[in-house]
Structure formats: C-alpha cells, structure tokens
A and B are shown apart, each in its own frame.
Chain A
Amino acid sequence: MKNTDNKKMVRLGVVGLGKMGISHFSIANAHPQTEVTICDASGYMIDIVGKYSSRPTFKDYDEMLDQDVLDAVIIATPSRMHAPMVRKALEKGLHVFCEKPFCLDWRDAEELTALASEKGLVSQVGYHYRYVGAFQEMKRIIDSGALGDITHVLAEAYGPVVLRPKGTTWRTNSTEGGGCLYDYAAHPINLLNWYFGEPSGASGTVLNSIFSADTDDEVYSTLSWDSGLSAHLSVNWSDESYRKMSTKITMTGTNGRLSADRQECQLYLRTPSETLPDYNAGWNVRYTTDLTEEVGFYLRGEEYSAQIDDFIAAIIAGQGETTNSFVSATETDKTISMLISDRDQAPTRSRATPVVTKKRSWFGR
C-alpha cells in the first residue's frame, strides 16, 4: 500500500487520538506518501493503537518534537491546546494541519498565521465542508456571478449531539472550545467566510443553552457585510430529528436562488448566464454522485480524505497555501469572537420614532 518508487515521503505526526484524531490517523496512514507517528497523552489510546498498529508512538508531545522525526503534524487535541501546540510545531519548522476551531483567541490565530507565513510552512485547518462537492459547486456558482447581486444568505446546521442534561467533557465546556458555537456553528460560518469573506458586523446573537449546563446548544445571529449582504445563522446541535449533522446554505440573488447541502446543489436561475454555461434557466439540480471526486482511501466521507490529501500534496509541492489555510481559519475565529461579543451586549430596548410624512390633503396642494 505504501509506495516503493522513491516518491517523497512526508513524516507526519498525528497528535490527539480522540474522535477526529483517530479518523485523521487512519486516513493519513492509508496515504501512500506518509510515514505516520502517533502521539496521545492518554496511555489507554496509545497502548491500544500501539499494540496493533506498527506505527511509532509517543505519550509526550514535546518529546516527539525533540526527536526530529517529523516534517509535519496534525493537531487534533481539545481546542484550548491548539494555539500552544501549533506554535511549538511551527517553531520547529513543521507544516501544520490543525483541527477546527483554530484558536479560541483570534489574536493567537493572527500571530500563528504570521509565523507560518514567515517560515514558509504549509498550514491548514480541518474545515472539511470546503471539500464537499456540493459546497464547492456553490462556490463556483457564486464566483461566476450568475446569481447577480446576492442580497441574503441563510446558513444552517442541525444535528443530534446533546439531547439531555448530562456529564461534561471538554466538548461541552465553552472555555475549552466546546459548545455548539465552536463545534457546529464554526462550519457554516467558515463556509460564509469562504464565499463572502469576513463579515463586518454581527447583531441579534443568541447563544442559548438547551440541555448543557456550561455552554450553548443553539446559536442564532445576523451577520452583515459592507456590501449590504446579510446572513442569518441558525444552528442547533440538540435536534434529534436529524440523524447526523446536516449543514445547509441557501442564498437569494437578483438572478435566482441557490442552495446546497452535503447531498445536492440546487440552483434556480431567472436568466441563463454566459459565465455558467452548464446551467439553464429555471431549476438545475446537481447531485453528490456527479459532484464528488474519487479519493484514494475512503473512511467517512470523501471530504475527510480530500483535505488530508491536499495537505500532503501541498507539502510535497512546497506550496504554502491551501484552501483552508490559517489565513482563512483566522477569519472564522474572528467571526466567532464577534458573535460572542455581540451576545455580551444587551439587546436594544429603544423604539424608533417613525418618520411619518403627513399626507397633505387634496385641497392643500
């Protein structure tokens, strides 16, 4: 399964064997151009995986870095540990793939982005929706301009994560980067950033607990851009009616309406556009079966493999920029912090006095 024809191999450390780390390890290890080392502070996971997998293991991150055995790391530890671990790796000259959200403090995100760029290292954050065919098609349609002026977007994500009051892990603690905002809402926010850049304002933000003691289970907000575009964000991870996380983006423009989820991309065009010759006037539907590019190894969706493939390809090619670089993930961190800041401000209690023009009577003209 590994290549034998002297292709460049990337020595890759996977750090943190939690839900995402295990999946990254499996995908990265199946890649033909990697030699993977694993690292996890919990002895249990290292013992279990180390016992059956032939890969080298470390329990201590610093020790692994000091051994100089790596070209790159995948950081999949709890979110509050991202910033210090990413910094150490960059200082060692390693390329970094970090799980989302990138940094809990956007100032760390800016510093680390600058550091990666200064050192010419490949950086990436695991916003895998940018590798979903239907969301990529949505990006292509937006960039073609075929929708005319886009005036409003609805960005939604729902799923069944926290369905009753219960014990806590880091994922349910907001100071550790848990909660619906960091875990779920970060994804549609990142897609909005990809499509439209960083919003200039947030208002009406609701970060509400439904079952969780320490954090938010539902997130609502109105985002605005200087261009006049607005977006409603509606996210809830306590919704049992969904079988698994379901993300959907819908937008309206002067020339039509566009929506996408993981399965399909639907476009209604009022008039056809020369910039989008493969779409007709009226309804157009493209399914995941048409939009998905095959990956070399499949675990849980092509997008999870495609993002790792991209990271490894960028390292081998010696290019610093990936679709989900630290630059773009920093926009998402800053948008998230804008939401928190908006939530902290009291909602307005004032009422506008309408400006009413007194209707002149017919005879008064």
Chain B
Amino acid sequence: MTFDRLLFGDNQFFGINHMSEEKARAQAMRFQDLSSIIEVLDAAYDEGVRTFMCTTHDRIGDICDHMRAQPAKYQDFRFYPCMPYAHKYANAVTDHGMLGALLHFMPDDGVFKTAFKGATSLAGKDIDGMFRILIDAEMKMFQGLNTPIIFLQNVIVDLLLGMGMGHVLGVFHDHIRDKYNVEAGFITMNMPLLYQVLTEQGVENPIICSNINKIGFRTCGGLDEYVETLRTGKLRAIAMSIFASGAIPPREAIEWLSTLPNLEAIVFGASSRRNIVSTRDLVNEYLGPEG
C-alpha cells in the first residue's frame, strides 16, 4: 500500500508539549471543546492532510463519533490509531496491581477473563490471546472508520523490546493483519534496535515511526545509526518529532529531512490552518509534490 506523506499528529490536542508545561496547559485549555479540535482537523483535511495519527485516548472516541455521523464529508479521512493510551494503564496499575490492571481493561462479557484468573499453570496462560483481546478493546472506538495502519505505541514497543519479548511484537503484527486486514505499525524511541528485532521476528518491510530530526533529539542508538538503518534497511520509515519540540526552525528541519534516504512519511502537529499550510508547503518545496 501507499500512504500519505504528511500525517497529522494529536499531541497538541491533549496538552502534550515536550518543551513547556505552560504551553501544554494553554493547548489543553484551547482544545477542551471537541469543536475546536474538529475545526483544526477540518482545516487539515481541506488542505490535503487527510490522515490523523492519534492515540486511543477516550476523547478520540468523540472525534470518531463525529466522523461516523458525516460519512460523505469525511470519506477520504483516515485514522492511524496508536494504542494504547499508556497513562490509563499506568494509573490502573496503581489501583489494581499489575495483573489487576490487565484484567480491569478486559471486556467483562467473555469467558476469557474468568479463565485467565483461574489459570494457575503456565500452559493455562494464553498471553497471546490476552494481548489480542486488549487490541480489540482499543479498536472498538474506530468501528466503521478507515484505519489503514494500526500502531503500537512506543512505551509498549520499547518495553517489550528491552525485555527481549520481540515475539509479542510479532503477535501484534499478525493480529492486525489477520483480523483487521490492514497493516501494523510500530512507534519507537530505539529505531535501529527495533528494526533488527522485527527482522528477527520475520516481520518484513516493517512500518516504523520514530523521532528523526536534525539535532538527534531522542534518537537512541545515535542519529548516525538511524540514518544508516534508513540507508541500508528494508523498512517503511515515518519521522516524528521533526522539529524537536520547536528546537529546530521549520525550514531547516524539513530541508534536512529532504536529504534522508527512504523516508516514507512525516508526522507533524499544528494548532492552526496557517501552520498546517506552511508545513505542507515546506514539504512540497523540499520533497517535491506528492504522488
């Protein structure tokens, strides 16, 4: 498949700013009404930025409802869901303990939860099955919408990566392909290492989204290693944090990206039509028109 070159991110809508807590709060205030988020998404859509890469945050559910209600208007709109919204799980661990937190997010209706609780033997613990159920629970809000790529968030990808549990990344990949008939993607802060592990797991030509920026902000394993992986690896790379939270001026950031080999797409966030247009135009200027 081909995917759009410019992807619209969601950090700005949820008070996430890696530069300043004050700015993050101001954004959280500005976007507390759904209508103000929709207004920016509509502006992006009008300007040809049709893909929204978003966390499976509860509020995204409201955006999904809005899109579902107007299928004609949003027929070309695409979601790239990124799961899970990690703070939801982290807070649940404080309330219920590790195992309790996992069970807390499982649907009550299945026999699985009961079976899992009751299982005491190793053989009885169907971890792959549990993982698939959690994926399905996260995907519920996107029912009936276009989700060509479904991502696993970096906090889980990197946790599994460090633990040496690459197998579970393979389970995610296969479940997304088999059940949803779309592609699986992986977000990471350790791109070269992830590429190596996914290759070992037999995931071919993986879709990997990671920080790629001129100053090497959060490019773990080293920026040189990143560029080398782009040059020699067989992967579909997506760059995020391209402005390093504002530390790199936009023109300089995008000019540098245009020198990289094998970059498929760029994720960016913006709070106004003006910024969407200026980023889009810079990308067209340096990377040539899309298509």
Contact = CB atoms under 8 A, between A and B. Distances in A.
Contacts of A18: 93, 97-98
Given A287-B19, A294-B220, A299 B158 contact: yes
Q: Sort A-B residue pairs by CB-CB distance and give the 9 closest, nearest first.
A: A26-B162, A298-B189, A30-B162, A289-B247, A298-B220, A52-B165, A53-B164, A19-B93, A26-B163
Which of A22, A29, A54, A263 has the most chain B CB atoms closer than 10 A to its own CB? A263
A288 B162 contact: no
Interface in A250-266: 261-264
A273 B26 CA distance: 33
Interface size class of A (residues with CB under 8 A): 35 or more
B122 A47 contact: yes
B137 interface: no
Nearest to A289: B247
Contacts of B221: 296-297
Contact of B127 (A25, A27, A52, A54): A52
B86 to A, nearest CB: 9
A44 B167 CA distance: 18
A289 B220 contact: no
A169 B96 contact: yes
A51 B244 CA distance: 38
Interface residues of B, number: 51
A318 interface: no
B163 A29 contact: yes
A298 B190 CA distance: 7
Nearest to A30: B162
Give the dominant DSSP class at B's interface: helix
Nearest to A18: B98
Interface stretch (A120-128, A160-168, A346-354): A160-168
B78 to A, nearest CB: 26
A136 interface: no
6 contacts: A48-B125, A49-B165, A51-B125, A52-B168, A263-B21, A297-B220
Given A169-B94, A290-B247, A297-B190, A51 B159 contact: no
Nearest to A26: B162
A169 B97 CA distance: 7
B21 A160 contact: no
A243 interface: yes
B16 A243 contact: yes
Contacts of A52: 127, 163-165, 167-168
A263 B25 CA distance: 13
A270 B288 CA distance: 50
B193 A1 contact: yes
A1 B190 CA distance: 12
Contacts of A27: 162
A161 B19 contact: no
A25 B163 CA distance: 6
Contacts of A243: 14-16, 24, 28, 87
B105 interface: no
Contacts of A54: 164
